[in-house]
Amino acid sequence: MKAIRALMLKQFLEIKSSFQLRALTLIAPLTQFIVFGFAFNFDVENITLSVLDFDQSTESRALISRFNASGYFKLVSFLTKDNEVEKVLLDGTASVVIIIPPDFAKRLTQNNAPTLQCAFDASSGNTAQIASNYVSAIIGAYGQSIQVSMQERSGAVGVPTAGNATLEPRVWYNPDLKSRNFFVPSILALILLLTTVIAASSSIVKERETGTLEGLIVSPITPLQLIIGKLAPFMVTASITMINLLILSAVVFEVKMRGNELLFAVLSLVFISMILGIGLFVSTISRTQQQAAFTTAFFILPPMLFLSGYAFPISSMPEWVQPITYFIPLRYFIVIVRGIFLKGNGLVELWDSILAMLICTVVIFAASFMRFRKSLE
């Protein structure tokens, strides 16, 4: 036990004296979390909008004002001719063009639904689809308000319309439909994974570079004691980072945990242990700190990023790719962290992901330990 304490103290002193390690374990995760939390946002706002209003009526201006006040669209220009539509879409001045027909107000007052045209720049298919949904919602809401106004003027308020069904949607877990609520918990997991793997692997590789690892090998310290002494400080720093990221999540992004904090803390420690196991394995196949960082960036980050469900739903992946995702450890913690954060899930709902993460942790640590022990020999 004295040997482990001495190694832990040595590692803590190394972290304290090394600005690179302090920045990697404590500063970089917070900075990256803030930047990525704002950057990874699939919500579409400030869509550039041009309007070709052939009607020039009070009703058409009221409709335009709804687009301008929605917060989703930014009115950039009014057009006067048909041939200007393609021009503004082509040069990128506008992403959406609304074309209001000359009989718009007349048809409204006659309770005859007018037909509006809308042109989209669909070079970004996702943005065009979302913009189309926004346009449909705004025009639909405007049409309902006109209908209510006409009923009030005719004294027929409250009279049901035959065959008219009303939909009242209820959105659970993410009522504001903000993609940030979905991404922030998983960004937390991804950043913790990358920074801790690089820090832990680089620290062990540094011992090999400086020649101090050979001195530790010939000492009466066992490989297990060496691993615990080297990795335990990173367990502490990763736990501190996790706490800081949770605070930033609640304060900066207003994404708060709905589930049990104790359950999340325990599972986070398991996840950090798994990360340290990956870092240990990387250190056994790397000879320099640069090689350890290269291995993490090119062989660990891509599969974790693209196959864990972090950015793309696993259910949307090709069927032959989906079985591969079961071998991606981050997949299970992302399910856990999103479930606890957004839905308040507990053991009953998350037991399969928890079990899979525990198995991954044991397998990774066992393989890393055997590989590390073999490399020492």
What's the pLDDT at 163?
38
**Could you give the CA distance from residue 237 to residue 25 in angstroms, rounded to a whole number?**
6
What average pLDDT is seen over the chain?
A: 80
Return d(Cα 242, Cα 192) in angstroms, integer. 7
- 154-168, 195-209, 245-259, 361-375: least confidently modelled range: 154-168
What pLDDT is stored for residue 165 in this prediction? 40
Q: Which two tokens stand for residue 217?
A: 């090998």
Range with the poorest average pLDDT among 54-58, 120-124, 153-157, 278-282: 153-157
Name the nearest CA neighbour of 356 among 308, 297, 302, 301: 308
Helices (H), the chain: 2-17, 19-22, 28-39, 58-69, 83-90, 104-109, 125-154, 179-210, 212-218, 223-251, 261-284, 289-295, 301-307, 329-338, 347-376
Q: Is the pLDDT of residue 360 over 80?
A: yes
DSSP type of residue 345: -
pLDDT for 217? 63
Torsion over CA: 284, 245, 40, 339 (sign) = positive
Q: What is the pLDDT of residues 137-194, one digit of tens each?
A: 888 888 778 777 766 666 654 544 433 444 455 556 666 667 777 788 888 888 888 8
SS3 assignment, position 99:
strand
179-210 helix and 261-284 helix, angle to the nearest 10 degrees:
40
Rounded CA separation 193/205 (Å): 18
Average pLDDT over every residue of 357-363:
93
Q: Is the pLDDT of residue 377 over 60?
A: no
Average pLDDT over residues 76-82: 90
pLDDT at 16 over 70: no
Report which secondary-structure segment, H or E, holds 117: strand 117-120
d(CA 21, CA 18): 5
Whole-angstrom CA distances from 44 to 72, 124, 144 are: 7, 11, 24
Closest CA to 230 of 9, 45, 20: 9
CB 242 within 8 Å of CB 275: no
End-to-end CA distance of the chain: 23
Global pTM reads: 0.71
Across 20-24, 27-31, 68-72, least confident range: 20-24
Tokens of 82: 């048909």
CA distance 365 to 273: 8
pLDDT exceeds cutoff 50 at 231: yes
- For 265, other C-beta atoms within 10 Å of its C-beta total 13
Among the listed residues 241, 216, 224, 242, the one whose alpha carbon sits nearest the alpha carbon of residue 280: 224
Report residue 30 as tokens.
């917070």
Nearest-angstrom CA–CA distance, 27 and 240 = 11
Q: 268-271: long-range contacts (C-beta < 8 A, 24 or more apart)?
A: 268/239, 268/242, 269/235, 269/239, 270/357, 270/358, 270/361, 271/189, 271/192, 271/333, 271/336, 271/357, 271/361
Residue 70 has pLDDT above 70, yes or no: yes
- The pLDDT-based confidence of 15 (bands split at 50, 70, 90) is low
Look at residue 258 and tell me whether its pLDDT is greater than 80.
yes
Minimum mean pLDDT among 65-74, 87-96, 124-133, 195-204: which range?
124-133
- List pLDDT tens digits, range 111-127: 666 778 888 887 666 67
Residue 51 has pLDDT above 90, yes or no: yes
Q: Are 213 and 207 in contact (CB under 8 A)?
A: yes
From 196, 191, 199, 195, select the one nearest 246 (Cα to Cα): 191
Residue 39 has pLDDT above 90, yes or no: no
Q: What is the pLDDT of residue 233?
A: 85
Distance in angstroms (rounded) separating the CA atoms of residues 238 and 244: 10
**Residue 110 token pair:** 């006659």
